[in-house]
Each structure stands twice: as structure tokens, then as C-alpha cells.
Structure 1
């Protein structure tokens, strides 16, 4: 199953959590508040801060540490300094604001160099194709950089970072 069809299957399937029914929100259906915050969970389930830490530190998933520094992860070498430190993220921004930043930082900070992690519209990307990814653009497999649940996990992790 391709990542795109898996995402579509997940979006079409309701997720049961705590007796309530939720459906994954597709990137096109996100409701923004004040142009910077996404109040509703993208996946309908709470984020897992442990899984979020894995995504933040993974060079193949979020790759966050290539641009951001995080003193809570001293075991990871070569942390970046072109983005703001992740330290204190949970104290600086609300959960909804962090969700907006992680999903689409360019909407929150138009001059940001941070990638758009939750968008599946290839027309919104400058180079979604062979020259950029070493793979030809294929509409059947083009998808978000992070899943809705990965965004929720990263947000949950960032909410734990309250110390400066």
C-alpha cells in the first residue's frame, strides 16, 4: 500500500479513542484560528511525547535537529542553529500554536525556512520532483512529510519543553 493510499484510508476511517469518534483531518480541511493556530487535533488522538521525540531527533523523519537546538537531547550531535531553540517551546506557545507551526510554519512565519510538514498539495511546493527528491513526481505517492499522528506526537513532545 502506498503512503498516499494509506493516508487516504486513515482519513476515511474513524479512529475510536476514549469512547469518542474522530477522523483524521486532511491538510486541505484544516481550520486555522487567527492564521497561526490549529485548535483541533489533526489525527483525532492525543500525541505521544516519546514518539514525538523520536520524530524530532530522526534524520529521516522530522530532521528537526538539523536546524534547531534542543538541550533535552544532548546525545544528538550536530544540532542546528538556524532555527530558534526548541527549549521552552511548551512555555512560549500554546498547543494549537505549536500544531500550526509544525504543520505549516510558512503560514505562521512567511519567511521561515522550515519545511511544510503537513501539506499534500504538490502545487504548493517549489520543487516536488526529480530534481529535488531524486524521484520523479508521482501523484499516487506524493504525500505529507509527516503524518497527522506524527505532527500530534511532535506537538506533544514540544509541550514538554517548558524550561529555557
Structure 2
């Protein structure tokens, strides 16, 4: 069974890396005043409103916008509108960022896979060259084989346990 190699061959140029970092810095700066750090307890206390409750808030907003005579005098409607608009913008931003994160994670996964397969190929070549007594390869193999020793130890332990 052959292993697929070089699943992804698109790479970020130095200019693209700089553009991404600049865009992220701009985004971080733009959102700095809006970002909140909640403790675990605060997160549980305030939570996230469910989809049903979002529909409820949307319906109250519709009434507030379209039938102002039915508004409660106990609600600060200017603040309600600001919260509603901020929530809507942030929700859209989160969705866009999550889509980007998914794509970025997928690309990283492919690069990780490509690197790992190439590293395995190099390790196999190192083992081959060690067998030919080529200088330097035995030391390299000794350094690299530590990453495979856990598998052997587990197999050896299981074999010993069965005896």
C-alpha cells in the first residue's frame, strides 16, 4: 500500500505571512475594547442564550422596532438596540472566523501529514545508510529512534504480561 505524499503544495509567501499577521493585528486592535475575559464561573453564570432564546430576543426586537407603543418603559431601548447590533456583528464575525479556522486547521493538518511522511522517509533512509556504515548516520538514527521506542516498550510489556 503506497502512502500519499505532498497532499498540499500551496505555501504562504513571506508577503502573505506578513499580510496575515498585519490583518490579525488590525483585528486584535479593533476588537481590544470589546473582548471580554470571563472566568469559568462567569461563563457558566451568564452562559450563552439558546437558539430558542435568540428567536425570542429577535421577536422582541421586531416588536420594539415596528410597534414602539408596545415597548416596556422599564427597558433602555437605546442600549437594547446597541447590544442587539453588537451581538449581530459579533455573531457574524465569529462565523466568518470559525470558517477561516476550519480551513486553516485543515491546511495545517495536510502540512503536518506531509512533514510526518517526509520525516518517516528520511528515517527509513537513515536506517538504510546506517546499514552501509556511512559516516554520521548511526548517530542520527540513535537520535531519531527515541521517537519510536514507546511503541516497542508497550509491545514488549504486553508480551511480557501475557507470559
Taking structure 1 as the reference length, what is the TM-score of the superposition? 0.21
Q: Which structure's CA Rg is the greater one? A: 2
What TM-score, normalized by structure 2, do the two folds share?
A: 0.21
Whose strand proportion is higher, 1 or 2?
1
Higher fraction of helix = 2
